[in-house]
Amino acid sequence: MSKPVLLVTRKLPDAIEARAAQEFDARLNPNDEPWFRDGAEIARRAAACEAAGILCAAGDPMGEATIAALPASVRIVTTFSVGTDHVAVAAAKARGLKVTNTPEVLSFATAECAMTLMLMAARRAGEGERMVRAGAWEGWAPTQLMGVTLEGKKLGILGFGRIGREVAAMARGFKMEIHYRDMNRLPPELEQGAIFHDSDDSFLSTIDVISMHVPGGEATRKWLNAERLAKMKRGALVVNTGRGNSVDDAALVEALKSGQIRAAGLDVYDGEPRIFPGYLDLPNVALLPHLGSATIETRLAMGHRTLDNLAAWLIRGEEPPHQV
C-alpha cells in the first residue's frame, strides 16, 4: 500500500524529517526555500504531488485563497505551531479538511523567552551587550546602565492561559506580585494567588510590567495602543511574546521615546519578518527573532505532534488528537 503524500513547507528538525520520510511519501523543503511565502505556490505544489496532507508552519499564508486553491486530494492541514491565525480554519473546515496544531508542548519555552525579555528590558542587557561588542566599555562605573529590579514589581499578564501561567510561576521566583487580565476569572487552583482584573483601567494602572500572551485576530489587533499605554505607570515595562499585531507599534515607539514606557522586549512583530522601523534605533527595546519555542526539546515535541495528527487521520483513519 502506498504511503500518503505529505507536502512539508519548511525545513524541520532532522529527526522530524526522518520520521516524516519513514511514515509518509514526504515532499520536504530541506533548504527552507522561500516558496512557502506564496500561498499560490503552496497550492500548486500540493496539486503537483497530489498531497493528502500539508504540514505548514507559523506565518505560512494558508488563508482563504490558498485553501480554495488546494486540490481535492488534500484531507488535512497541520501547522507546526499553536497559533492558527495564519490558517483560514473556517474555510478549511467548510471544505471538509481537518486542521490541527501543536498545543501544550511549547508553553514553558515561550515563558522562558518572556522572562528573558523581561530581564533584558529591566536590566538594559541589550544596551550592555552592544556596548561590550562595540569596544566602548571602559570598566565598571557606579552609574553605568542602571536598570530596575523585578523584585517586588507587579507583573501584569495579559492572557492567563498555559503560557501566561508558566510566566507567573517563573515570576514568583523573582518575588513579583502577579496580576492578570482575561475574559473570565480562573479557578483558584489555576490562579495560584494571582489577582484578577475585570477592566483594562484597573489592570493597566496597577502593574509595573506587562507580559502579553493573547491570540491573534481582529479582537486583539493593536490592543496596546496609545490610550492604553497612557494608562500605565510611567516607566513601566512592556514584553510581548504573543502576537505582533496586538501592539500598536507607532504608539509604543512614542511611549519608549517619551519615557512613559521605560523599556520593551519583543519577540513577535506585526507583518514579520518585517520590523517596524522605529524600533531599530531605540536603545531601550530588546528585539528577538521569534524565538519563543526555539529550544531543541520543544521543536522536536512540536514536530512529533504534527506527525501524530497526520498519522492518525491519513494512516489509521482516526480523528487527529489535536484538532483546532
Would residue 179 show up in a list of annotated catalytic residues for this protein?
Answer: no
Q: What is the mean pLDDT of the chain?
A: 97
pLDDT digits (tens, 9 = 90+) for 147-185: 999 999 999 999 999 999 999 999 999 999 999 999 999
Give the long-range contacts of residues 60-64, CB within 8 A, separation 24 or more. Answer: 60/9, 60/10, 60/36, 60/86, 61/37, 61/86, 62/86, 62/87, 62/88, 62/92, 63/39, 63/87, 63/88, 63/91, 64/88, 64/91
Asked if 212 and 265 touch (Cβ cutoff 8 Å), the reply is no
Using the predicted structure, report yes or no on whether residue 1 has a pLDDT greater than 80: no
Question: Residue 217 corresponds to which cell in the numbers above?
Answer: 485576530
- The one catalytic residue among 123, 221, 290, 304: 290
Fold of the domain built from segment(s) 5-105+296-315: Rossmann fold (3.40.50)
Using the predicted structure, report yes or no on whether residue 66 has a pLDDT greater than 80: yes
- The one catalytic residue among 27, 243, 262, 305: 243
**Of the options 3.90.10.10, 3.40.50.720, 3.10.20.30, 3.30.460.20, the CATH number for the domain spanning 107-287:** 3.40.50.720
- Residue 8 identity: V
Q: What residue ranges in 213-276 does DSSP mark as E strands?
A: 236-240, 261-266
Res 168: pLDDT: 98
Q: Compute the Cα dihedral for 298, 86, 274, 156 and give only its sign.
A: negative
Using the predicted structure, report yes or no on whether residue 23 has a pLDDT greater than 90: yes
Mean pLDDT calculated for residue range 265-274: 95
∠ CA(253), CA(244), CA(181), 5° rounding? 90
* 3-state SS, residue 16: helix
Would residue 243 show up in a list of annotated catalytic residues for this protein?
Answer: yes
Q: Which helix (H) or strand (E) holds 7?
A: strand 5-8
Res 218: pLDDT: 86
- The backbone torsions φ and ψ at residue 313, rounded to the nearest 5 degrees and listed phi first, read -85, -45
**Overall pTM > 0.75:** yes
Would residue 290 show up in a list of annotated catalytic residues for this protein?
Answer: yes
Give domain limits for the chain: 5-105+296-315, 107-287
∠ CA(313), CA(308), CA(161), 5° rounding? 110
Using the predicted structure, report yes or no on whether residue 7 has a pLDDT greater than 90: yes
pLDDT digits (tens, 9 = 90+) for 178-222: 999 999 999 999 999 999 999 999 999 999 999 999 987 888 999
- The one catalytic residue among 177, 221, 272, 304: 272
Domain 5-105+296-315 shares a fold with domain 107-287: yes
Res 289: pLDDT: 97
Q: Given pLDDT bands bounded at 50, 70 and 90, which one contains residue 46?
A: very high
Res 22: pLDDT: 98
Distance, in Å, from the CA atom of 127 to the CA atom of 138, rounded to the nearest integer, reads 14
Distance, in Å, from the CA atom of 32 to the CA atom of 54, rounded to the nearest integer, reads 15
- The backbone torsions φ and ψ at residue 135, rounded to the nearest 5 degrees and listed phi first, read 70, 20
